[in-house]
Amino acid sequence: MKKILFITTLFLLSCGNSGPSACDCAEMAKERIEGKMESLTKTNEEQIKIATNWEEKLKPCEQIINENKEFEKEVQDCLIMLFDADNEKELEENK
């Protein structure tokens, strides 16, 4: 229940902002982390292209983080919640 309240609060706080929300940035960061293992099987050129694409996608998040350290904490909190949710889901599936 706490997680739902926290996510709702972050969502409402981010609604007034133009650009990505903290949780949007966290979701992209999570996707990038998960994709890094997959990119190890790619050629060097493909890895560079993938890294460049991610840099472009994450650039708006990086700009906001550089301007607002509280936003960085919100991104980290969302990222932790995303990984916690994945872990809980995996634990439930393994029961």
Which residue ranges make up each domain of the chain?
A: 21-93
pLDDT digits (tens, 9 = 90+) for 7-60: 555 555 545 557 899 999 999 999 999 888 888 889 999 999 999 999 999 999
Residue 4's pLDDT band (boundaries 50, 70, 90)? low
pLDDT tens digits along 50-87:
999 999 999 999 999 999 999 999 999 999 999 999 88
**Residue 43, phi-psi category: left (phi > 0), alpha (psi -120 to 50), beta (remainder):** beta
**pTM tops 0.95:** no
CB 26 within 8 A of CB 79: yes
Contact by Cβ (8 Å): 64, 20: yes
